[in-house]
């Protein structure tokens, strides 16, 4: 802290100028777009913290490597109106601008920092505590800071370790998220140290990423990542390269430099082809390898015995034989993308391309070029060769438009024109290009409700209407335990270990509400199986946020009663086959009250198809 104050004095900081330090207008918009991928990767972690921030008068945020706030969440009621403007997107918290503070100082020190009350350089910040932890990308480059802020009297020393843990979780998630066509290894020291090191290796056997523990354990310099072969790190590294699947037993890898042994597991194997040992041979063969078409899911990979799920699959199989547009409704994580791929694979267009685009994950300015493509030199930064858009890429096949309800209004108009005459014009081009595509759209929101609220064009809605398929959320499926056992068998093969569920874990699987649905169940089971050491998976092996949810329900009787109420409502609706009027009579409440309760459960609009 002393070094930071000494630097701050040299900066000649003017307190009056601080409020104007930040990005506005077009500059802010461009800044957010530049960091869209980073923000997309850390969002799952920030969203999990949202309930905590609401209860604790706390703000959590992400700054870039220069100290500009990319995202901030939480209740800021403890701040006056003037100071709230300092905690906004685009505000600058570099040390040069605001002196000693957690974000700016963590950037320079490259370590977790807690700055409490009067430890802040500026007097205007003395009412706050701020805790910042640096975030490094898989190559070890500092890309941002995770920050927690609140009223200084609420500070507790454990928050420093908590912030560091969250930043490491973000780093691990980025490494896994960016490991397309890579293999990811999890290494644990042979000693009692349970810290988990993660390494990603590309298809040629070269190190492409390492988390903080891996860089520390293996003494890896950042400049080695991308340039060092796995056989140079471990004396028996070729054992990993010889593996063709993730079904092998755990093995020990011995570090070349320190002779330390690591118990190693293949966490994920996203390789499309086998590794090659030896540097020169690897590079030559990888250049000769033809690009392989990514595998497309089919109906036989979608398992379920739940009646609602089976009905959805049967309808999808019938719809696949037609060329009608399809809208898939379902919460995030229910498998909408897998169902779309299965429909394509079963359709007459299966020989053509399957192209997917997430309308909610791409910024408005980029969505047009992603959909329509552009001609060479059509705008600053455009590729010299131009770019073929998703609509053109899908010619002769299927375009899957996920989260279509999030599409900006101007793009809705552009898509409507395409669906009227099935021709497109690239950005900067003048020649209409005919296309032959089938559109499968998906949304976790009720599209018709979005139309009624003026958020989605009615004419586009009618154009997209063909066949509607509803995928039930996991909490409403009767086959949760069967699914968990299927996923566990797959995970057992990945880890090469035999594990089973305890009775308490079976209860957890059947009663937990699974807000992230199938995607959440798979990731939770994978972590639980990995952490399990005696062959029996217990509830404490599950991710911390799952355990926290369960403790919150146990500690809050009203929450348990609410869960019971939700279950009763859903059971009555199932008996009445989704008839709201009949259900309301049986429950002894008004229709409007029932609609409100359904919305609280997570269904903004119930239809008979849901049951």
| Average predicted confidence (pLDDT) for the chain | 81
Using alpha carbons only, what angle is made at residue 504 by residues 502 and 510, rounded to the nearest 5 degrees?
A: 105
Give the integer Cα–Cα distance in Å for 38 and 49.
17
As beta bridge partners, residue 269 has 183
Question: Cα–Cα distance between 46 and 52 in angstroms, integer?
Answer: 10
pLDDT digits (tens, 9 = 90+) for 327-379: 999 888 899 999 999 999 999 998 889 999 988 877 777 888 889 888 887 76
**Full strand arrangement of the beta sheet holding 207-210:** 207-210, 197-201, 183-189, 261-269, 251-254
Please give the pLDDT value at position 180. Answer: 65
| pLDDT mean over 559-587 | 68
Cβ–Cβ under 8 Å, residues 400 and 437: no
Cβ pair 308, 302 in contact under 8 A: no
Query: pLDDT, tens digit, for every residue of 511-540?
Result: 888 988 999 999 999 999 999 988 899 999
pLDDT in tens, 299-325: 877 888 888 899 999 999 999 999 999
pTM above 0.85, yes or no: no
| Secondary structure class of 22 (helix, strand, coil) | strand
**Residue 470 phi, psi dihedral angles, 5° rounding:** -110, 120
- Tens-place pLDDT, residues 48-76: 776 677 667 788 889 999 999 999 887 76
Q: Please list the residues that pair with 144 across neighbouring strands.
A: 64, 135
pLDDT mean over 207-218: 88
Question: Length of the chain in residues, anyone?
Answer: 611
CA 570 – CA 252 distance, rounded (Å): 50
Q: What DSSP character marks residue 87?
A: S
Q: Which string of DSSP letters, residue by residue, matches 236-282? A: TTHHHHT--SS-SPPEEEEBTTT--EEEEEEEEE--SS---SSHHHH
* Residue 287, pLDDT score: 34
The answer, yes or no, to whether residue 225 has pLDDT greater than 50, is: yes
Cβ-in-10-Å burial (0-12, 13-18, 19+) of 211 comes to buried
Residue 318, Cβ neighbours under 10 Å: how many? 11
441 DSSP β-pair partners: 327, 401
């Amino acid at each position: 802290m002393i070094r930071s104050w000494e630097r701050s004095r040299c900066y000649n900081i003017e307190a009056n100028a601080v409020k104007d330090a930040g990005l506005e207008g077009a500059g802010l918009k461009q800044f957010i777009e530049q960091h869209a991928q980073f923000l997309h990767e850390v969002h799952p972690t920030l969203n999990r913290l949202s309930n905590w921030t609401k209860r604790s008068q706390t703000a959590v945020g992400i700054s870039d490597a220069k100290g500009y706030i990319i995202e901030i969440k939480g209740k800021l009621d403890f701040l006056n109106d003037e100071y709230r403007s300092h905690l906004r997107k685009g505000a600058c918290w570099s040390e040069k601008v605001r002196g000693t503070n957690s974000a700016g100082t963590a950037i320079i020190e490259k370590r977790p920092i807690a700055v409490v009350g009067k430890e802040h350089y500026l007097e205007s910040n003395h009412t706050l505590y701020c805790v910042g932890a640096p975030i490094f990308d898989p190559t070890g480059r500092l890309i941002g800071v995770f920050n927690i802020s609140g009223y200084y009297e609420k500070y507790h020393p454990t928050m420093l370790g908590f912030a560091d843990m969250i930043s490491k979780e973000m780093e691990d998630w980025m490494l896994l998220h960016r490991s397309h066509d890579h293999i990811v290894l999890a290494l644990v020291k042979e000693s009692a140290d349970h810290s988990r090191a993660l390494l990603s290796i590309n298809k040629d056997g070269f190190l492409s990423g390492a988390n903080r523990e891996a860089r520390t354990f293996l003494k890896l310099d950042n400049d080695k990542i991308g340039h060092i072969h796995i056989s140079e790190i471990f004396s028996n590294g070729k054992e990993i390269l010889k593996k063709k699947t993730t079904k092998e037993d755990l093995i020990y890898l011995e570090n070349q430099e320190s002779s330390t042994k690591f118990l190693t597991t293949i966490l994920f194997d996203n390789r499309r082809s086998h590794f090659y040992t030896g540097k020169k041979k690897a590079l030559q063969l990888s250049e000769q390898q033809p690009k392989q078409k990514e595998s497309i899911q089919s109906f036989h990979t979608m398992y379920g015995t739940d009646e609602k799920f089976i009905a959805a699959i049967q309808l999808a199989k019938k719809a696949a034989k037609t060329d009608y547009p399809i809208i898939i409704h379902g919460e995030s994580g229910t498998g909408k993308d897998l169902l779309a791929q299965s429909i394509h694979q079963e359709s007459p267009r299966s020989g053509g391309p399957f192209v997917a685009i997430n309308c909610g994950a791409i910024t408005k300015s980029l969505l047009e070029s992603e959909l329509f493509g552009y001609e060479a030199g059509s705008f600053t930064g455009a590729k010299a060769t131009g770019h073929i858009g998703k609509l053109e890429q899908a010619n002769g096949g299927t375009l899957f438009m996920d989260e279509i309800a999030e599409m900006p209004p101007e793009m809705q108009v552009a898509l409507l024109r395409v669906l009227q005459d099935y021709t497109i014009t690239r950005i900067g081009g003048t020649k209409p290009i005919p296309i032959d595509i089938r559109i499968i759209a998906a949304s976790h929101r009720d599209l018709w409700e979005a139309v009624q609220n003026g958020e989605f064009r009615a004419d586009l809605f009618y154009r997209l209407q063909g066949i509607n398929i509803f995928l039930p959320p996991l909490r409403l499926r009767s086959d949760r335990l069967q699914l968990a056992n299927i996923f566990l068998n797959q995970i057992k093969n990945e880890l090469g270990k035999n594990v089973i569920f305890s009775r308490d874990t079976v209860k957890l699987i059947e009663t937990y509400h699974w807000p992230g649905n199938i995607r959440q169940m798979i990731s939770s089971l994978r972590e639980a199986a990995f952490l399990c050491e005696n062959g029996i998976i217990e509830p404490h092996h599950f991710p911390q946020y799952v355990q926290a949810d369960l403790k919150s329900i146990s500690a809050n009787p009203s929450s348990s009663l609410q869960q019971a109420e939700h279950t009763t409502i859903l059971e009555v609706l199932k008996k009445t086959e989704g008839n709201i009027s009949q259900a309301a009579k049986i429950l002894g409440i008004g229709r409007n009250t029932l609609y409100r309760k359904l919305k609280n459960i997570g269904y903004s609009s119930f239809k008979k198809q849901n049951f």
